[in-house]
Amino acid sequence: MTEITRDVVIIGAGPAGTTAANQLKKAGLSVAVLEARDRVGGRTWTDIIDGAMLEIGGQWVSPDQDALIETIEELGLETYSRYREGESIYIGADGEAHRYTGDIFPVAEQTKAAMLALIEQLDVLVAEVDPDEPWAHPRAEEYDEITFADWLAQQTDDVEAQDNIALFIAGAMLTKPAKAFSLLQALLMAASAGSFSNLVDEDFILDKRVVGGLQQVSIHLAERLGDDVFLNAPVRTLEWGDDGVVAHADGDITVRARYAILAHAPVLYERISFVPPLPRRQHQMHQHLSMGFVIKVHAVYDRPFWREQGLSGTAFGPYELSHEAYDNTNFEDERGTLVGFVSDKNADGVFELTAEERKARILESLSHYYGDEAKNPVVYYESDWGSEEWTRGAYAASFDFGGLHRYGKDVRTAVGPIHFACSDIAGAGYQHVDGAIRMGRLVADQLIELARA
Ligand code: FDA
- Kindly report the CATH number assigned to the domain that includes residue 151: 1.10.405.10
339-384 residue pLDDT tens: 999 999 999 999 999 999 999 999 999 999 999 999 999 999 999 9
- Give the angle subtended at the CA of 295 by the CAs of 89 and 389, to the nearest 5°: 165
Task: Quote the CA–CA distance of 190 and 126 in Å, as a whole number.
Answer: 7
For residue 142, tell me if it sits in a domain.
yes
Q: Check whether residue 20 and residue 56 sit in a common domain.
A: no
Range of the domain at 125: 104-200
For residue 399, tell me if it sits in a domain.
no
Q: Check whether residue 29 and residue 57 sit in a common domain.
A: no
For residue 408, tell me if it sits in a domain.
no
271-308 residue pLDDT tens: 999 999 999 999 999 999 999 999 999 999 999 999 99
For residue 99, tell me if it sits in a domain.
no
Q: Check whether residue 269 and residue 342 sit in a common domain.
A: no
> Which of 215, 264, 272 maximizes ligand 1 atoms within 8 Å of its Cβ, making it the mutation to test the pocket?
264
* Cβ 230 vs Cβ 34: under 8 Å: yes
How many CB atoms sit inside 10 A of residue 333's CB?
12
Whether ligand 1 lies within 6 angstroms of the CB of 129 is answered as no
95 CB-near residues (< 8 Å, 6+ apart):
319
* Cβ 260 vs Cβ 419: under 8 Å: yes
Q: Check whether residue 180 and residue 118 sit in a common domain.
A: yes
Q: Examine the predicted complex and report whether its ipTM is higher than 0.95.
A: yes
Q: Is 433's pLDDT higher than 90?
A: yes
Q: Check whether residue 424 and residue 447 sit in a common domain.
A: yes
168-184 residue pLDDT tens: 999 999 999 999 999 99
Amino acid residing at 384: D
434: phi then psi, degrees, rounded to nearest 5: -55, -45
139-156 residue pLDDT tens: 999 999 999 999 999 999
Q: Check whether residue 32 and residue 52 sit in a common domain.
A: no
The candidate with the shortest Cα–Cα distance to 199, out of 172, 235, 227, is 172
Sign of CA pseudo-dihedral 306, 309, 314, 317:
negative
Task: Quote the CA–CA distance of 319 and 93 in Å, as a whole number.
Answer: 7
DSSP type of residue 329: P
Whether ligand 1 lies within 6 angstroms of the CB of 266 is answered as no
Q: Check whether residue 336 and residue 373 sit in a common domain.
A: yes
Query: Structural domain tally of the chain?
Result: 3
Which residue lies with its CA nearest to atom 45 of ligand 1? 432
> Which of 43, 297, 442 maximizes ligand 1 atoms within 8 Å of its Cβ, making it the mutation to test the pocket?
43
At 335 the three-state DSSP class reads coil
Q: Is 162's pLDDT higher than 90?
A: yes
Report the percent of the chain where pLDDT is more than 90: 98
Please state the length of the chain.
453
| Boundary of a domain, candidates 200, 226, 244 | 200
Q: Check whether residue 37 and residue 50 sit in a common domain.
A: no
Q: Check whether residue 274 and residue 422 sit in a common domain.
A: yes
The candidate with the shortest Cα–Cα distance to 191, out of 127, 246, 268, 238, is 127
Task: Quote the CA–CA distance of 158 and 152 in Å, as a whole number.
Answer: 10
Q: Check whether residue 12 and residue 67 sit in a common domain.
A: no
Q: Check whether residue 188 and residue 117 sit in a common domain.
A: yes
For residue 393, tell me if it sits in a domain.
no
Which residue lies with its CA nearest to atom 5 of ligand 1? 264
Q: Check whether residue 180 and residue 226 sit in a common domain.
A: no
The CATH number given to whatever domain includes residue 316 is: 3.90.660.10
Atom of ligand 1 nearest to the CA of 15: 51
pTM, rounded to two decimals: 0.98
